[in-house]
Structure formats: structure tokens, C-alpha cells
Structure 1
Amino acid sequence: MNFWETITGSDLTREYKAFEVRAQALPADHRAAWEEIKCHLFPYGDFTGRNLMPILDSALGLLEETAADGQSIHEVLGDDVKGFCTAMAGGEGARSYRDRWREQLNRNVARKLNRLGG
């Protein structure tokens, strides 16, 4: 990965498109689970989403393996796809982008208030 790819995110776009090509080969129920997994994982991403790429790769790999073994999606993920995604992202209490933005806003407000009061 070169500097330009890092700045523009073209490496992420290329990798994400490769994920989608792989996902198209999955059976319908596994593809639906893939879409749901993506929706539940994106809140845990950083600004670029670069931190999610290994997690998405692992989740897609799991879906590919279980589809090849003939397992149903409910055997693999159960009924709690959101809980599965939370566990993959770092467990309950893992910081999402909202948490990071809230902390940044609180720091900025506290800094401004300290300047006004001090």
C-alpha cells in the first residue's frame, strides 16, 4: 500500500469490492446474514473503516466455510447476529464511533469552559 492509496482510501475500496464478489458466491441466507453483519459492524468502525477490514474478512471467511460445509446460518450465528457482531468488534462495551465523538465533544466543551472560567 502506497501513500496515495492510504490517503484516498482506494485500497479499502478495492478490498471491499473483493469482499462483495466473494459474498455473491454465498447461498441466499448466508448473503442476507452478510448484509446484516455489515450493518451491525459499521458503528464500530473508525473514521476510515480500516479497522473493520480484518473483522469483515474473518466474518466472510466464516460464512464461506459454513456454506461449504452445508451448515445453515442459524446453526452458525444463532438468532443474535447483533450479539455476534458485538463480540467480533471487541465485546460488550466496545467503543463505537458515537462514543469517540461524544468523548471528543465533551473534551472540547470542557476546554472552552475552562478558558471562559479561568
Structure 2
Amino acid sequence: MNFWETITGSDLTREFKAFESRAAALPDDYRAAWEQIKAHLFPHGDFTGRNLMPILDSALGLLEETAADGQRIDEVLGDDVQGFCTALAGGEGARTYRDRWREQLNRNVARKLSRLGG
């Protein structure tokens, strides 16, 4: 990955298109689960989503492997797709991008207030 790709995110676009082409080969129920996985994981991403790429790659690999084995999607993910994604992202209470932004805003406000008060 070069500097230009890092700045523009073109490497992420290329990688995400590769994920989508891999997902297109999955059975319908697996594709629906892939869409749910993406939706539940994106709040755990950083600003660019770069930190989610290995997680998405692993999740898609799991779906590909289990589809090839002929397993049903509910055998793989269970009934709680959101819980599965939470576990992938680091467990219950894993920080989302909103949490990180809120903490940064609170630090900045506290720093400005301390300068005004002292």
C-alpha cells in the first residue's frame, strides 16, 4: 500500500469490491447474512474502516467455507447475528466510532475549559 492509496482509500475500495465479488458466489441465505454482518460491524470501524478489513475477510472466509461444507447459515451464526458481530469486534462493550469521537470531544472541551478557568 502506498501513500496515495492510504490517503484516497483506493486500496479499501479495491479490497471491498473483492469481498463483494466473493460474497456474490455465496448462496442467497449466506449473502443475506453477509449483509447483516457488514451492517453490524461497521459501527465498530474507525473513520476509514481500515481496521475492519481483516475481520470482514475472516467472516467472509467462514461463510465461504461453511457454505462449501453444506452447513445451514443458522448452524454457523446461530440466531443472534448481532451478538456474533459483537464478538468479532471485541466483545460486549467494544468501542464504536461514536464512543471514540465522544471521548475525543470530551477531552477537547475539558482542555478548553481548563484554559479558561486557570
TM-score normalised by L of structure 1: 0.98
1:12 aligns with 2:12: yes
**Who is 1:68 aligned against?**
68
1:44 aligns with 2:44: yes
Identity of aligned residues (%): 88
Per-residue CA shift, 1:7-47, capped at 9, x if unaligned? 11100000000000000000000000000000000000001
2: CA distance, partners of 1:113 / 1:71? 57
Greater than 2 Å deviation, 4+ residue runs:
none
2: CA distance, partners of 1:4 / 1:107? 31
2: CA distance, partners of 1:62 / 1:39? 17
**Who is 1:77 aligned against?**
77
Which residue identity lines up with residue 69 of structure 1 in the other structure? D
Which residue identity lines up with residue 23 of structure 2 in the other structure? A
2: CA distance, partners of 1:80 / 1:66? 17
* TM-aligned CA deviation for residue 69 of structure 1: 0.6
**Who is 1:95 aligned against?**
95
* TM-aligned CA deviation for residue 93 of structure 1: 1.4
Which residue identity lines up with residue 22 of structure 1 in the other structure? R
CA RMSD, Structure 1 to Structure 2 (Å): 0.6
* TM-aligned CA deviation for residue 112 of structure 1: 1.3
**Who is 2:116 aligned against?**
116
Unaligned runs of 5+ in 2: none
